[in-house]
Amino acid sequence: MKIFYSSFESSYVPPFRVQGALLNTFFETPKRLHEILKYLENNQRKFELIKVASIGIENVGKVHSQELVMFYSKLQRVLAKGEYVEAVVYPIYKGQKPQDIRYHAGYYCFDSRTVLKKEAIKAALNAGTTSMKAAQELLNSDNMHVFALIRPPGHHAGRNFYGGFSYINNAALAADVLAELGRVAILDIDYFHGNGTQDIFYDTSEVFTISIHRTPEREFPYYWGYINEKGAGKGEGWNLNIPLDGRVDGDKYMKILEKVSRLILKANVKALVVSLGSNIHRGDPQGTFDIETEYFERIGKIIASMGLKTLTVLEGGYNSKVLKEALLAYLEGFHG
């Protein structure tokens, strides 16, 4: 099977504070994927690896606002190597922007943990490019499934905002390419709600967005992901949130996923984008679900059973060992 990837780039950031405590662990780093890539390279009879070169930042304007794109573009030019900016003031009523673009972060960022570096923007561009190239492969070939091994994640990046370690929405860019086939579904099975994906497609019926996630009553991003968020205007009824509370084990998750797969087929979609997060695994440091590795194989089988052209993009997952096991189990399930 074909796996598309690109340079993951370095995006080290200094320790940050949460409720006064200094944390030295920054989960979203290139190390997440290095072990997986090494394994894939050593098993090239099974996997065809395709490295993708990055495109210009203007190409992400298909799903993001020109305002956000220009912010990234200008910031890339002014930041020195290793320099970073973070949101420290959030202008709730959108006051006048200061002249120095380094202080604009709070205008677009919705959390305090997602810092911006020249390298981070480049890594996000690489990820967005990779997802688009993988989607084009699906569009122009007989392949029924391709995988985009990318970082940073993208499903928290909205039309005019970023956060949650997400800067550019990879799944949305892929769906935009696949829309040439007709209606596309985006199935988000990351532990956290894909608020950015919801934002981008909230008012259209051309993309059916579904997110299965930990309830925002108790988990990031808190302000999005509720069951009553069903879309607006032409998109009303085309956004489905399934927030989960209490103990979520593999059997419970499979029953939900099987119901969702039937809804996707009833929606007459022509292609599927899966936002896959291994943070639903019981061994992930940021999740609370009780799902074991074997269930990722079953997830792959259920998604494959829909018979749709499918692009899987990697979202979260912050235990490298678990991420590798879950990813390989998912691919095994999908491809038998």
Which tokens sit at 227? 């069951």
What single string gives the DSSP state of each residue in 245-264? -S--BHHHHHHHHHHHHHHH
Question: Contact, 167 vs 249, CB < 8 A?
Answer: no
pLDDT digits (tens, 9 = 90+) for 161-175: 999 999 999 999 999
Residue with tokens 């969702």: 260
Q: Where does the pLDDT of residue 17 fall: very low under 50, low under 70, confident under 90, or very high at 90 and above?
A: very low
Distance between CA 18 and CA 20 in Å, rounded? Answer: 5
Kindly report the average pLDDT of the chain as a whole number.
Answer: 92
Decide if 64 is catalytic: no
226 C-beta neighbours (distance < 10 Å), count = 13
Architecture of the CATH domain 2-51+121-335:
3-Layer(aba) Sandwich (3.40)
Q: Is the pLDDT of residue 255 over 50?
A: yes
Instruction: Identify the active-site residue in 156, 193, 213, 281.
Output: 156
pLDDT digits (tens, 9 = 90+) for 304-336: 999 999 999 999 998 989 999 999 999 999 998
Question: Contact, 306 vs 265, CB < 8 A?
Answer: yes
Q: pTM of the entire structure?
A: 0.94
Question: Contact, 246 vs 218, CB < 8 A?
Answer: no
- Residue 144 to residues 2, 187, 307: CA-CA distances in angstroms? 10, 16, 8
